[in-house]
Structure 1
Amino acid sequence: MRRFVITGHRACTTGDFKLDDLAGGAGRLDILVRCANSSLFLSHGIRKDVEVYLVLEGGDDAPKTVIFKGEHARYLNPDERSTASLIRNALMKPVGKDEEVQSTPGVYVTRMSFSDVLRKLSEDGKIIYLKEDGTDCRDYEFPDNPVFVMGDNQDPTPEEEAMIESYGPDRICLGPVSLHANHCIVIVQNEMDRREA
């Protein structure tokens, strides 16, 4: 299983945002939507071996995490508006502290924080921190069950970085220039696909 964790520092945690204002009123939710799509979609299908954890940290109801599980995903289309609508539907579901509520097939919402997500996923996966000063991905041997961690348009805060580092992550970089988070995901997927082919 390949897992991607993206933290949205200002991403709205309630479902009251407008689908035509994802970059503004929804707190840069557009970035998380692109990351989900880049993680899950193939040209004519959905990756069944991928899970995406979108950690939303904006607003009074934070934190919440929306999870996409490719193996069970239905009604998922490659346009941003459709994915944002699935996220909004998930955020409108009432969810208790230790619950994981399914809103549509393959889409879930929880009250897990960034640290909760890392703790859960580190139990059976290796944390990999995508960072400009890491090992070049072309010289890196990807482990089974990798958990790729990245920020949105902001780097992880010092506290978040300390949490990541506490798991002894592998640090990898994807090239000599900084890239958008969703582009990083496409490159990682391609590197792994090529090696598994």
Structure 2
Amino acid sequence: MTSFTVIGHTACTDASFSLQDLPGKGGRMDLLCRAVASSLFLSHGIRKDTICDIILLGPPNPGRIIRFDGSVLRSLSPDERNIASYIKKALSVPVGKVFREAGPGLFTRKGTLGDHLDEKRYAVLDESGTDIRKVDDEDMPDAFLLSDNRNFSDDELTCTRDLPRYSLGPEIVHADHAITLILNEIDRRRSGWN
């Protein structure tokens, strides 16, 4: 499985946000929805070998993780409002520190980045990191950490200081575009396509 975790620094953590105002009242929920879509959708289907976790850190209850698991996800479509409606559904479920199912392929729990990093072998996307095309196949991580439109906070940098850092090229791209580039690199390697 390939996993992506995207931090939403201002993303609303209560199901009351409006589907009509994802950037504003949703706290840039639009960015997280695009990241979910980029990680899970192919032209005519869902990537069954991919998980996308979003960490919502906005008000009123920062520290909520929502997981989209492509292997069991049902009825999700790639538009932002549909994905946001799944996020609202997950936010309406009472949670503790263990993932709880909010629907097929949709899970949620309380948690922070520090709680989350122990689950997989993560790499951080960082424009000053090693070019991902120079990473050997056996060193390619199975999980990637990205931020929304904000830089990682000092606490997040401390949590990730020992993780490998990879760059996708000379230009800084949006998180959803970065996910597409990573998946393209992984697809090319797995298929032997050069």
TM-score range, shorter chain: over 0.9
Find out whether 1:116 has 2:115 as its counterpart.
Answer: yes
Q: Give the Å deviation of 1:120.
A: 2.4
Match of 1:196?
190
In structure 1, how many angstroms separate the alpha carbons of the residues matched to 2:140 and 2:173? 25
**Bigger CA drift: 111-120 or 180-189?**
111-120
Find out whether 1:38 has 2:38 as its counterpart.
Answer: yes
In structure 1, how many angstroms separate the alpha carbons of the residues matched to 2:135 and 2:164? 9
TM-score, normalised with respect to structure 1: 0.93
Q: Give the Å deviation of 1:112.
A: 1.5
The secondary structure found in structure 2 opposite 1:110 is strand
Q: Percent of aligned positions with the same letter in both sequences?
A: 39
The letter for the 1-side match of 2:164 is D
Match of 1:73?
73
In structure 2, how many angstroms separate the alpha carbons of the residues matched to 1:75 and 1:141? 36
TM-score, normalised with respect to structure 2: 0.94
Q: Following superposition of structure 1 onto structure 2, how do residues 107-146 of structure 1 map, counting pairs within 5 Å?
A: 107-121=106-120, 126-142=121-137, 143=139, 146=142
The secondary structure found in structure 2 opposite 1:58 is coil
Q: Indicate conservation of the 8 Å contact 1:66/1:109, yes or no.
A: yes
In terms of fraction of residues, the more strand-rich structure is 1
Q: Give the Å deviation of 1:8.
A: 0.5
Q: Give the Å deviation of 1:144.
A: 6.1
In structure 2, how many angstroms separate the alpha carbons of the residues matched to 1:144 and 1:159? 25
Change (3 A) 1:127 1:66: same
Give ranges in structure 2 of 5+ residues lacking alignment: none
The letter for the 2-side match of 1:48 is K
Q: Following superposition of structure 1 onto structure 2, how do residues 1-197 of structure 1 map, counting pairs within 5 Å?
A: 1-96=1-96, 98-121=97-120, 126-142=121-137, 143=139, 146-165=142-161, 168-197=162-191
Q: Indicate conservation of the 8 Å contact 1:4/1:51, yes or no.
A: yes
Which runs of at least 4 in structure 1 moved beyond 4 Å after TM superposition?
Answer: none
Paired positions, count: 190
